Structures are given as C-alpha cells and as structure tokens.
Amino acid sequence: MNQELLVVRIGPYFFGAPVLAVAEILQLSDVTRIPRVPPQVAGIAVVRGLPLMVMTLSPALGLPAERMEFVLRWAGDRNTALVHVDEVVGLVQVDHPLPKDSWATLVPPAAANWVVDVYRWHDEWLWAWPEDLPQRLAAELTGGLKPGGSGWAAAPMAQGG
C-alpha cells in the first residue's frame, strides 16, 4: 500500500498527514486564545476574513502549549478546523506500515483515536493521521472524550441565588 504523507513535527514527534487531505499550510501570526474551552482548542485564527478554530494535539501528547507557528488547513469544507504543527518537514512515500500489535499499546489513550498507522522513517517513527483528523478531534470535544493527563474542566461558574 503506497501512500504519500506530509511529514510534520509536533514537539519531538513526527506525524504523517495524508497529503491529499491537506489543503494548505498556513503560517500564523496571531491565534486568539479562547477561555473556558478544552485545551485541544488552541484558539481562533482568521484566515481570509473567516474565523477558524485552531486545534492542537500538544496536550494529548503531554507537551506544553507552544507558540503557534504553522497550521494545516484540511481540504473539504472551508469552515473546517485548523490543526497546529511546529514544523512542516516534507513529503514522503511510505509503504509497509508496522503491524498494529507492535505499537498499539504504546499510543496514549488520548491519541488512540487519531493515530492509524506507524511507519519507520529514517531513524524515527512516523505516526500517521487519518484523513478525517479534524472531524475526529471535533468529535472528541463534543463527545466528552477527554484527552489523557490534562483532565480539563470548564472554569467554575460562580453560582449565585
């Protein structure tokens, strides 16, 4: 199974995005943070006059929140969310994914939903994303699937009366 992946880096890890699923790579100057949302929501960025939600995988990977450098805009609906990455490395042809039982137990539960394949790439592992990554992330937000480790809760609302 021959597939072309866009290799991106988040912290020390490398991920592969199905290249046809990515519409563009944007360099962001400004992401407005939104209060009272789960930590996967990095904020809102304005792309050509359209406010779009920026998602980040850092909390699920146990990484600190970094300054946003690049985001990937997924193809399809122009309202789809953006996914933050630290660096875009390049394109790579992959085949022969590693057998699932060799890595499945290593993936943190919070990431299990969006790591579908693993490849050996140079001396790194390349964790491949599904084509519908933004949708899966959005489903986690609304479906109450909490990312491991962070245990976010909405800011407590003072209750009067």
Partner 1 sequence: MRFDEIRWDSEEERALFLEEAFELLGTLEEGALKTPPPIEAMFRAAHTLKGSGGMLGLTEWVERAHRLEDAIDRRGRPDWQWTPELQQLVLETVDALRAELSGAPADDRTALVRFDLRWSASCPMPGVRALQAYNAVSAAIPGTMSDPPVDRLGDWHGEVSVLWVPSVADVEEQVQALLAVVDDLVEVKRVDRALEAPHLTESPTDESQRPDRRDATLRISADTLEAIMEGIGELLLDHGQLEHRLGHALDSATRSVFEHMRRRALDLQDLTLRARMLPLDTLFRQYPRAVHDIARKLNKKIELKTQGGDTELDRVVMDRLHEPLLHLLRNACDHGIESPEERIQLGKPETGTVRLTAYAAQGHVHIQLEDDGRGIDWQKLRDKAEREGWMSHDEAERAREEELQDLLFRPGVSTRDQVTDLSGRGVGLDVVRAFLDEIHGAISVESRWGQGTTFHIELPMTMAIVTALIVEAGPWTVGFPIATVERIESVSVAGVKSALGHDAVSDRNTPLPVFSLTELLDPDQPHEDHYVVRVKDGRTQAALTVGEVTGQQEIVIKPVEGLTGLTPWLSGVALLGDGRLALVVDVRRLVPVTRSEGEALREDDVILLGSNQMELLVFRLNGDQRYGINVYKTREVLPATTVTRVAGQHPWLDGVVYVRGQALPVINLYRALDLDPQADSAPLLMVAEFNQTVQAFGVYEVEQMVRVGWDAVETLPDLMEGHNRFVTGLINHPTLGTIQLLDFEALLAAVAPPAPEAEPQLPPLGPEVTVWLADDSAVARQQVEKALASLGVTMRTFRDGTELLAAVRGEGARPDVVVLDVEMPKLDGYSVARQLKESAETAAIPIILHTSLSGKWQASRAQEIDADAVITKFDPGLLAATVVRLVAARPLSAVS
User: Which residues bind to partner 1, rule: CB under 8 A?
Assistant: 30, 32-38, 41, 44, 46, 49-53, 77, 79-81, 138, 141-142, 155-161
Minimum gap (Å) between residue 22 Cβ and partner 1? 18
**Composition of the chain by helix, strand, coil, percent to 5:** 15, 40, 45
Cα(149)–Cα(161) distance, integer angstroms = 34
The nearer residue to partner 1, 19 or 21, going by C-beta atoms, is 21
The nearer residue to partner 1, 30 or 123, going by C-beta atoms, is 30
The nearer residue to partner 1, 81 or 118, going by C-beta atoms, is 81
The nearer residue to partner 1, 64 or 156, going by C-beta atoms, is 156
Minimum gap (Å) between residue 130 Cβ and partner 1? 17
81 and 137 in contact (C-beta within 8 Å)?
yes
74 and 21 in contact (C-beta within 8 Å)?
yes
Cα(142)–Cα(31) distance, integer angstroms = 22
Minimum gap (Å) between residue 43 Cβ and partner 1? 9
In which region does residue 79 sit, left (phi positive, over 0), alpha (psi from -120 to 50) or beta (all else)? Answer: alpha
Please classify residue 145 by burial: count the beta carbons closer than 10 Å to its beta carbon, then call 0-12 exposed, 13-18 middle and 19+ buried.
Answer: middle
The nearer residue to partner 1, 44 or 107, going by C-beta atoms, is 44
Minimum gap (Å) between residue 11 Cβ and partner 1? 24
Minimum gap (Å) between residue 48 Cβ and partner 1? 9
Return phi, psi of residue 20, to 5°: -75, -20
